[in-house]
Chain A
Amino acid sequence: MRKRSQILIVDDSELNRSMLADILYKEYDVLEAENGREAIAMLQEHEHEISLMLLDIVMPEMDGFEVLAVMGKNKWLESIPVIIISAESASTYIDSAYDLGATEYISRPFDPKAVQRRVGNTVLLYSKQKMLENMVTNQMLDKEKSNLIMVEVLSHIVEFRNGESGMHVLNIRSITKMLLAQLCRISDQYSAIQPRIPLIANASALHDIGKISISESILNKPGKLTPEEWLIMKTHSEAGANILESTRYYPHEELVSVARDICRWHHERYDGKGYPDGLVGDDIPIEAQVVALADVYDALTHKRVYKEALPHEVSMRMIFDGECGAFNPLLLQCLADIGPQLEKELKLKSLGHASKDEMIDATRSMMQSGNVSNRTLALLEQERIKYQFFADLSREIQFEYTAHTDTLMLSEWGASQLGLPSFIENPNGNPELLRVMVRRDMESLRNLILSASPKDPKVSGHYLLNVNGTRRWHKFLARPLWLGNDADIFTGFIGKCIDVHDERLKMDRLIEQANTDALTGLYHRKAARKVVQEALDEAESGMCFTLMLFDLDFFKHANDHYGHLFGDELLQETARRMLGAVRDVDITARIGGDEFLIFIESPLDSTPAVERIFSSLRCTCKGHPITVSMGVARAPQDGMQFDELFHCADRALYAAKQRGRNCYCLYDDSMAGQLSVLSEIPSEEAGEQSPDQACGQ
Chain B
Amino acid sequence: MEHCYEEMGADYAEAIRRIGSDERIRKYLGILRRDDSMDILRRALLEGDVDTAFRAAHTIKGSALNLGLSPLTDSSSRLTEALRSKASSETIAPLLEETERAYGKTIACIDKLSSRVEGGQA
Which A7-24 residues have C-beta < 8 A from chain B? 12-16, 18-19, 22
Q: Is the CB of A12 within 8 A of B66?
A: no
Which B30-64 residues have C-beta < 8 A from chain A? 31-32, 34-35, 37, 52, 54-55, 58-59, 61-63
Report the tally of A-B residue pairs with Cβ distances under 8 A: 52
Check A112/B65 contact, CB under 8 A, given A14-B35, A58-B55. no
Chain A nearest Cβ from B37, distance in angstroms: 8
Q: Is the CB of A87 within 8 A of B61?
A: yes
Is B20 at the interface (CB under 8 A from chain A)? yes
Cα A58 to Cα B55 with chains together (Å): 6
Cβ of A660: which chain B residues have Cβ within 8 Å of it? none
Q: Which of A15, A22, A58, A112 contacts B63 (CB 8 A)?
A: A15
Check A87/B58 contact, CB under 8 A, given A14-B35, A16-B63. yes
Q: Is the CB of B65 within 8 A of A108?
A: yes
Cβ of A112: which chain B residues have Cβ within 8 Å of it? 18-20
Q: Is the CB of B55 within 8 A of A109?
A: no
Is B101 at the interface (CB under 8 A from chain A)? no
Interface of A is mostly: loop
Which A29-87 residues have C-beta < 8 A from chain B? 58-60, 87
Q: Which of B20, B32, B58 contacts A15 (CB 8 A)?
A: B32
Cβ of B61: which chain A residues have Cβ within 8 Å of it? 87
Cα A110 to Cα B20 with chains together (Å): 13
Is B86 at the interface (CB under 8 A from chain A)? no
Which B15-30 residues have C-beta < 8 A from chain A? 18-20, 24, 27-28
Is A111 at the interface (CB under 8 A from chain B)? yes
Q: Is the CB of B59 within 8 A of A13?
A: yes
Q: Is the CB of B18 within 8 A of A15?
A: no
Chain A nearest Cβ from B27, distance in angstroms: 7
Q: Which residue of A lies closest to B37 (CB)?
A: A13
Q: Is the CB of B28 within 8 A of A60?
A: no
- State the interface size on chain A (CB cutoff 8 A): 17
Q: Is the CB of B62 within 8 A of A87?
A: yes
Q: Is the CB of A16 within 8 A of B62?
A: yes
Q: Is the CB of A15 within 8 A of B55?
A: no
Q: Which of A15, A87, A110 contacts B35 (CB 8 A)?
A: A15
Chain A nearest Cβ from B7, distance in angstroms: 20
Q: Which residue of B lies closest to A14 (CB)?
A: B31
- Residues 94-111 of A, flagged 1 when their CB comes within 8 A of B and 0 if not, give 000000000000001111
Cβ of B54: which chain A residues have Cβ within 8 Å of it? 58
Chain A nearest Cβ from B61, distance in angstroms: 6
Is B71 at the interface (CB under 8 A from chain A)? no
Q: Which residue of A lies closest to B60 (CB)?
A: A13
Cβ of A87: which chain B residues have Cβ within 8 Å of it? 58, 61-62, 65
Cα A112 to Cα B55 with chains together (Å): 24
Q: Which of A58, A59, A60, A108 contacts B66 (CB 8 A)?
A: A108
Q: Which residue of B lies closest to A18 (CB)?
A: B31
Cα A109 to Cα B19 with chains together (Å): 11
Q: Is the CB of B27 within 8 A of A18?
A: yes
Cβ of B52: which chain A residues have Cβ within 8 Å of it? 60
Q: Which residue of B lies closest to A108 (CB)?
A: B65
Check A58/B58 contact, CB under 8 A, given A108-B65, A109-B65. yes
Q: Is the CB of B28 within 8 A of A109?
A: no
Check A15/B65 contact, CB under 8 A, given A22-B24, A112-B20. no
Known contacts A12-B59, A15-B67; 14 additional CB pairs below 8 A are: A13-B37, A13-B59, A13-B62, A13-B63, A14-B31, A15-B32, A15-B35, A15-B66, A58-B58, A87-B61, A108-B65, A111-B18, A112-B18, A112-B19
Q: State the B residues within 8 Å of A (CB).
A: 18-20, 24, 27-28, 31-32, 34-35, 37, 52, 54-55, 58-59, 61-63, 65-68
Could you list 29 A-B pairs, sorted by A, with CB under 8 Å?
A12-B59, A13-B37, A13-B59, A13-B62, A13-B63, A14-B34, A14-B35, A15-B28, A15-B31, A15-B32, A15-B62, A15-B67, A16-B62, A16-B63, A16-B66, A18-B27, A18-B28, A18-B31, A19-B19, A19-B66, A58-B59, A59-B55, A60-B52, A108-B62, A109-B18, A109-B66, A110-B18, A111-B18, A112-B18
